[in-house]
């Protein structure tokens, strides 16, 4: 049995369309140009506060407006669910992993309220034994404490972290936990530049890859 912890955005779900949508609603209210999908992917990974900071920097939004933009963004975030989809094969892979006796968790920099909202919307909540959001602790990834907290709450088994980004790879490295990299997510650098123990681009293959990492 393993304790398998997943990142959320860019790993289990493609949430960039919803995040871009609310970001552009915020920008449009004050007359700034919308974000492209490429920019949205580039800004995701370090939580909502950093996303909004990068968004504002990209559009030269004055510092005096940034606090209001963050509040508006966060107010919209929990309801940003309509455009988000699980990656193909995610649901079947989670069911197969649980059938093997593995315990599953989430460790994400997404704030816990929108994290729970999207999991509920996608009927995924029951697949996970613990969920750690970006504001569940006083620190967030790449600090290893949120990942370690998720592993501790899963209570036993060989621990593995699965994610898609530089932040996830660094978190696993700092926690000294094997890292499985999903290569179709929101990473900014090439695969060979990221710390990892295994890679996959199709969730159908994930249960077998987990078995190989555990061995």
Q: Which residues are catalytic?
A: 7
Neighbours of 181 (CB within 10 A): 24
Q: Are strands 179-182 and 158-163 parallel, antiparallel or unpaired?
A: parallel
Helices (H), the chain: 16-29, 37-43, 48-58, 63-77, 90-99, 112-121, 145-154, 166-175, 206-214
Euclidean distance between CA atoms 143 and 178, whole angstroms: 16
Pick from 28, 5, 1, 7: which is nearest to 168 by CA? 7
Pick from 67, 69, 85, 88: which is nearest to 77 by CA? 69
Check if the beta carbon of residue 47 is closer than 8 Å to that of residue 110. Answer: yes
């Amino acid at each position: 049995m393993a304790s398998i912890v997943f990142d959320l955005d860019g790993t289990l779900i493609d949430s960039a369309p919803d995040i871009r949508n609310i970001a552009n609603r915020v920008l449009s209210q004050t007359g700034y140009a919308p974000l492209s999908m490429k920019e949205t992917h580039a800004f995701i990974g370090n939580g909502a506060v950093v996303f909004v900071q990068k968004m504002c920097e990209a559009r030269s939004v004055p510092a005096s407006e940034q606090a209001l933009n963050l509040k508006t963004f966060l107010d919209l975030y929990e309801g940003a669910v309509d455009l988000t989809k699980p990656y193909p094969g995610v649901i079947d892979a989670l069911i197969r992993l649980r059938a093997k006796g593995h315990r599953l968790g989430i460790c994400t920099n997404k704030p816990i309220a929108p994290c729970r909202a999207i999991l509920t919307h996608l009927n995924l909540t029951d697949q996970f034994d613990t969920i750690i959001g970006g504001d569940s602790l006083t620190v967030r990834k790449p600090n290893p404490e949120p990942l370690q907290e998720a592993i501790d709450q899963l209570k036993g088994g060989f621990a593995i972290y699965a994610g898609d980004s530089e932040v996830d790879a660094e978190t696993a490295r700092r926690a000294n936990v094997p890292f499985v990299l999903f290569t179709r997510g929101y990473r900014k650098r090439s695969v060979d530049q990221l710390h990892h123990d295994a890679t996959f681009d199709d969730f159908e293959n994930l249960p077998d890859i987990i078995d190989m990492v555990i061995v």
